[in-house]
A and B are shown apart, each in its own frame.
Chain A
């Protein structure tokens, strides 16, 4: 018992001194579990996040837009891979994590359970969803767990292109015909609140936050990050000349930040619990892709075995 205590004290001292925890270091079981949950959910989000945007690749309005969108979706696949690799350093198999997603045990970001109805949604997603993701992810570059922090550095470098391509789409639509501008406004109307929900429950309701802060997995609270996002995004909406769908959103001169309306938490929990507009569709698409890719994995394993046999046969001859 005392041994565990001293190990745990040393571990916490290391974190307090802003040192990184590496895979071979001793860590409390709860720290390991928390990270596996968070990193794998993050990885799942990157992969499932490819679906709403993949929906528009074949219908992108120009070759320039199509190239940008393909590159962005490809990046998200890469992000998923970096993150699955980071999770694996904690002693869990990727297959296991993917199974948990497919049976509905593991969650992914609820934002991807909303449909992409028009081309403007691709603009709104890049601007708002990738924007909110950056806000969440930049502090994770200093997360106490080394492999996760390093993966996030790479991810964050790539994200800024995603946000800029999204904003450029919105800008083009807003400078276009009245119908195009209305399309941009409609997309903002539908994506604004789900984007704010990406920061998670209010601090008072957030169950894992305090421990994650003490472990420096998390550096800022949900509400702090959400506030920053609102403050950053409002002037960008003004520049586009479209209106954020929140009558309570206004600048508070005294507090030097924006006041904004209450999130519909019933909707938030409904989508988290699997009853959003696209939860079933997204999961079905992932399961289908995984099952239809089985032959590729089988072929890779058969090929690897063949190579191993060849090498051992050769060495027998020699």
Chain B
């Protein structure tokens, strides 16, 4: 199950953080699972380096299934 950053909040402990996150960030069924972590424990990639980090994957289309030519009549593959 993939988790996405929803936002930040204040809480006295982890359990309270879960309760607050449920109230603030899932009022419209935005999620079915919550993770909370103290912001001081997060190390993030530098947005300025996103080109050098992520662009190299752009020309590696052979990592995708559609790169490989197979006849149309073939099924279940």
Contact = CB atoms under 8 A, between A and B. Distances in A.
B27 A307 contact: no
A78 B25 CA distance: 8
Nearest to B44: A24
Contact of B24 (A22, A24, A78, A304): A78
Given A20-B47, A22-B47, A300-B16, A78 B10 contact: no
B9 A81 contact: yes
Contact of A304 (B8, B12, B28): B12
B13 A303 contact: yes
Interface string A274-312: 000000000000000000000000001101100100000
Given A300-B16, A303-B13, A304-B12, A74 B7 contact: no
Interface on chain A toward B: helix, strand, loop, or mixed SS?
helix
Interface residues on B, range: 10 to 19
A307 B15 CA distance: 12
A88 B39 CA distance: 12
A250 interface: no
A145 interface: no
Contacts of B46: 24
A94 to B, nearest CB: 7
A204 B47 CA distance: 37
A85 B9 contact: yes
Interface in B1-38: 7-13, 16, 23-24, 27-28
Interface in A21-43: 22, 24-25
Given A301-B12, A303-B12, A304-B12, A75 B47 contact: no
B13 A74 contact: no
A151 B24 CA distance: 12
Nearest to B50: A19
B50 to A, nearest CB: 10
B8 A75 contact: no
Contacts of B47: 20, 22, 25, 146
A148 interface: no
A85 B13 contact: no
Nearest to A157: B28
Interface of B: 7-13, 16, 23-24, 27-28, 46-48
27 contacts: A20-B47, A22-B47, A24-B46, A25-B47, A74-B27, A75-B27, A78-B23, A78-B24, A78-B27, A81-B9, A81-B24, A82-B7, A85-B7, A85-B8, A85-B9, A88-B8, A94-B10, A146-B47, A151-B7, A158-B28, A300-B11, A300-B12, A300-B16, A303-B13, A304-B13, A307-B12, A307-B13
In the A-B complex, the 4 residue pairs with the closest CB atoms:
A304-B12, A300-B12, A85-B8, A22-B47
Interface of A: 20, 22, 24-25, 71, 74-75, 78, 81-82, 85, 88, 94, 146, 151, 154, 158, 300-301, 303-304, 307
